[in-house]
Amino acid sequence: MEKIYLSLDRYNELKQELAALKKSGREEMAQKLKNAKEFGDLSENFEYQEAKEKQSWLERKIFQLEETLRGAVIIKGGGKEKVGIGSTVHLKIKKDGKILVFKIVGFSETHPSKGLISNASPLGRALLGKKIGDFVSLKMAKGEVVYEILAIE
């Protein structure tokens, strides 16, 4: 089973979503199917076909959430000596001196505009295991970008 790295907050959010889908989502879907059956002949009943498709989507979503939670590894927070999953890393772009701050998270929590990058992203992979003062180089479409690690939290 593939490991899925999640913060404790994200893990709890997914558990709550799963519980809601299993309870109220399934109850709502059962009611929709019941109502749609009342329209008559099921072979030509658009409402019933649509409700069945939504039920199928709901069950796939429940299955996906269960699989995610089953493979979840809770991120405890990275160390301060080396970059790890859960670390917040302060970087300086060597070319222009711009300072960037990223937190390394699992792929399901990635949100680059909020400073959350995946451990599987090119920059995330390059940073893992590095220390303060190390340089990381990435080849980008516009050329190579070199980052210096200023701090690790």
pLDDT score recorded for residue 41: 66
| pLDDT at 116 exceeding the cut of 90 | yes
pLDDT score recorded for residue 35: 83
Q: What percentage of the chain has pLDDT greater than the value 70?
A: 93
Q: How far apart are CA 14 and CA 12, in angstroms?
A: 5
Summarize pLDDT for 82-95 with one digit per residue, the tens: 999 999 999 999 99
Q: Domains of the chain by range and CATH?
A: 4-74 (1.10.287.180), 88-152 (3.10.50.30)
Vertex 58 angle, CA 10 and 105, to 5°: 20
pLDDT score recorded for residue 43: 67
| pLDDT at 114 exceeding the cut of 70 | yes
pTM above 0.75, yes or no: no
- Burial class of residue 100 in the structure, from the number of CB atoms within 10 Å of its CB (0-12 exposed, 13-18 middle, 19+ buried): middle
Summarize pLDDT for 45-84 with one digit per residue, the tens: 778 888 889 999 999 999 999 999 999 999 887 678 899 9
